[in-house]
């Protein structure tokens, strides 16, 4: 008999009873509709314990990797602590600033040491909080499996409350707080190690792609990987030499630096990064696609990728929204 812990209370599943049936029998209000694993209204997340594989059917692989499952068809085989799909932990942990360096004119790299290990996937994002309570979201460029410090790439905005403060006031050794990780834009290996990957990012949209690229290679991805990074000017591009080095070391990696405005001698492709990507790879059937950065690029490219043959289930997106409370 498995035990389900939900909102600090424990419930015992009867033989052949689903998690949803158990909760409803105990008078717990849990969302549901079709009761057959189709509508996904009953989706929950296991924060402790593993849901059975059959309870994750039809769920995107990145959600499966985070423990999401369908309560209406989940017959638990282990004890689990579960939460509703849209519930966030909001549990902040202290982090120490270990490094603050400039990657480009408007981009700062922060490396942070968390007080305790953070469970995350390369490419997810975290919420960073300073002492006065101001919070902004930043993508993770680091790899969890290598034991690296947490790495964030911060674009300094003209009126960015957090980013301007990071540039002008934050110093190495200072303490901040961090919560997460969140998001579904990350790499999963599974049985698709030979699937072609297309990575497109603008600005600090390179941060999650930098993590995703290295994560895929660490997992032994053998299919072609094409990374397009775009900026309005050449000065906005960064990690250029690092990406060229990775492409030189791995035959399956191709790197395309792109700028809206550039001279012939700058050594970059000239034009909008997503348009250049589609020109280079017009048929995206069978490709897995990661889109990060400016929301207009991300949303437009999602539509274009689908029209070019990509499956919606193979498109992963992380649009950055530069406004109060969001990525800034």
Going along the chain from its start, the domains and CATH numbers come out as 3-84 (3.10.20.30), 93-182 (2.40.30.10), 197-319 (3.40.50.80)
- The number of angstroms, rounded, from the C-alpha of 280 to the middle of its chain's C-alpha atoms is 25
pLDDT score of 58:
83
pLDDT at 22: 94
Q: Please state the length of the chain.
A: 328
| pLDDT for position 322 | 61
Tell me if 72 sits within 8 A of 31, measured CB to CB: no
Residue 325 has what pLDDT? Answer: 42
Please give the helix or strand (H or E) that residue 155 lies within, else none.
strand 150-155
Q: Which of 16, 21, 22 has the alpha carbon at shortest distance from 3?
A: 22
Kindly list the distances between the CA atom of residue 116 and the CA atoms of 96, 109, 126, 172, in Å, as whole numbers in the listed order: 11, 21, 15, 19
* Residue 232 · residue 261 · CB < 8 Å: yes
pLDDT by position in tens, the chain (length 328) = 799 999 889 999 998 999 999 999 999 988 888 788 877 889 999 989 999 999 998 888 888 888 899 999 999 998 999 998 877 656 889 999 999 999 999 999 999 999 988 889 999 999 999 999 999 999 999 999 767 799 999 999 988 999 999 999 999 999 999 988 888 899 998 778 999 999 999 999 999 999 999 999 999 999 999 999 999 999 999 999 999 999 999 999 999 999 999 887 788 999 999 999 999 999 999 999 999 999 999 999 999 999 999 999 999 999 987 644 444 4
3-state secondary structure 234-299: HHHCCCHHHHHHHHHHCCCEEEEEEEEECCHHHCCEECCHHHHHHHHCCCCCCCEEEEEECHHHHH
What global pTM score does this model have?
Answer: 0.80
Q: What integer pLDDT is reported at residue 326 of this predicted model? A: 43
Which residues are bridge partners to 310 per DSSP? none
Query: With contact defined as beta carbons under 8 Å apart, do 270 and 228 qualify?
Result: no
């Amino acid at each position: 008999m498995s035990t389900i812990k939900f909102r600090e209370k424990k419930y015992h599943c009867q033989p052949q009873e689903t998690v949803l049936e158990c909760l409803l029998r105990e008078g717990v209000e849990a969302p549901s509709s079709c009761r057959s694993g189709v509508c996904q209204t009953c989706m929950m997340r296991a924060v402790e314990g593993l849901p059975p594989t059959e309870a994750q059917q039809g769920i995107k692989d990145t959600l499966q990797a985070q423990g999401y499952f369908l309560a209406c068809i989940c017959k638990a085989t282990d004890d689990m602590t579960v939460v509703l799909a849209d519930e966030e932990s909001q549990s902040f942990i202290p982090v120490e600033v270990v490094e603050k360096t400039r990657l480009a004119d408007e981009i700062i790299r922060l490396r942070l040491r968390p007080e305790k290990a953070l469970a995350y996937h390369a490419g997810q994002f975290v919420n960073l909080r300073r002492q006065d309570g101001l919070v902004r979201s930043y993508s993770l460029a680091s790899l969890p499996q290598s034991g690296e410090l947490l790495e964030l790439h911060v674009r300094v905005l003209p009126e960015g409350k957090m980013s301007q403060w990071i540039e002008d006031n934050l110093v190495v050794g200072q303490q901040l707080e961090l919560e997460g990780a969140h998001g579904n834009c990350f790499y999963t290996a599974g049985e698709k190690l030979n699937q072609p990957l297309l990575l497109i990012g603008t600005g600090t949209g390179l941060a999650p792609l930098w993590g995703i690229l290295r994560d895929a290679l660490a997992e032994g991805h053998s299919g072609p990987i094409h990374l397009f990074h775009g900026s309005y000017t050449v000065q906005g591009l960064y990690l250029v030499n690092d990406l060229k080095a990775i492409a030189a070391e791995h035959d399956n990696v191709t790197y395309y630096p792109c700028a809206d405005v550039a001279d012939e001698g700058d050594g970059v492709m000239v034009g909008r990064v997503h348009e250049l990507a589609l020109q280079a790879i017009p048929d995206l059937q069978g490709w897995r696609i990661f889109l990060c950065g400016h929301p207009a690029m991300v949303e437009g490219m999602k539509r274009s990728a689908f029209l070019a043959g990509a499956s919606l289930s193979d498109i992963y997106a992380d649009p950055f929204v530069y406004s109060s409370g969001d990525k800034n």
